[in-house]
Amino acid sequence: MKNFKQGDGVHLPLFTGICYGFVMSTHIAAKTGEIAEAILLPGDPLRAKFIAENYLEDPRQYTAVRNIFGYTGTWKGKPVSVQGTGMGIPSISIYVNELFRDYGVKRAIRIGTAGSIRETVKLRDMVIAMSACTDSGANSLRFGGRSFAPTASFSLLKTAWDIAASKGWQPAVGPVVSGDMFYTEDPGEWKLWAKYGCLALEMECAELYTLAAKYDREALCLLTISDSMITGEATSAEDRQTSFTRMMEVALETAVS
């Protein structure tokens, strides 16, 4: 296992021209130069730790504020970071705003889990979110009641699809739903989203895509199906942390391409 020390600078030739040493944001509290321009965003901080320990070369932990872990290392010689975001739109909004605004992140790829709402999307399948519907009030507040269409960056989407296809994997591509409530009052409301072609339910993608548009950055959401609203099947918490490696590998390849 690699050794991490919170607050260590990344003593790698990654970020030339950046002044080191200043703590930049409230909730991440990393120093300047410690976060790469390309970043993976799992909701689960333990998934961030798993990726750092099993995929990144020479990783350094730059934050453990609120036990939401962040690391920077290299993947195939190129700098990449991985940062937990917590669950839900308010949580990911805090981290992504700070990453884009304060740390100069240019390419952000969410890697998360989702519940299938289509018969053709099976347990452990990979989903690439082309766009994100939502029942959240965040964009209604942001746009004064107008509707905004949160959409993936096409260059990242095409790259991810090509990488997955080259490995013989066939992700489902289409709209997903970013819900505000995991436990809803109407357990059958997903059927309406499914009727209109949505593939899966998750909780963060719409905000990531909206903030990428605001800051003129690239963003993509890669998901692995952890449970099915149709069949009732579900994976374990350990599976969700450590076994959805296809999604992780596609995200890393896409991030540095």
Give the CA distances from residue 69 to residues 43, 82, 193, 205, in Å, rounded to whole numbers and listed in that order.
10, 8, 33, 20
Residues comprising the chain, all counted: 257
Amino acid in position 92:
I
The question of whether 162 is a catalytic residue gets the answer: no
**CB–CB of 68/86 below 8 Å?**
yes
From the list 8, 162, 180, 227, the catalytic residue is: 227
Cα distance between residue 22 and residue 31, in whole Å: 5
**Greatest Cα pair distance in the chain:** 53
Which residue spans within the chain are E strands per DSSP?
38-42, 57-63, 70-75, 78-83, 107-116, 126-134, 172-178, 200-202, 218-228
Cα distance between residue 198 and residue 223, in whole Å: 13
**Dihedral over alpha carbons 180, 209, 163, 82 (to 10 degrees):** -80
What residues are labeled active site? 227
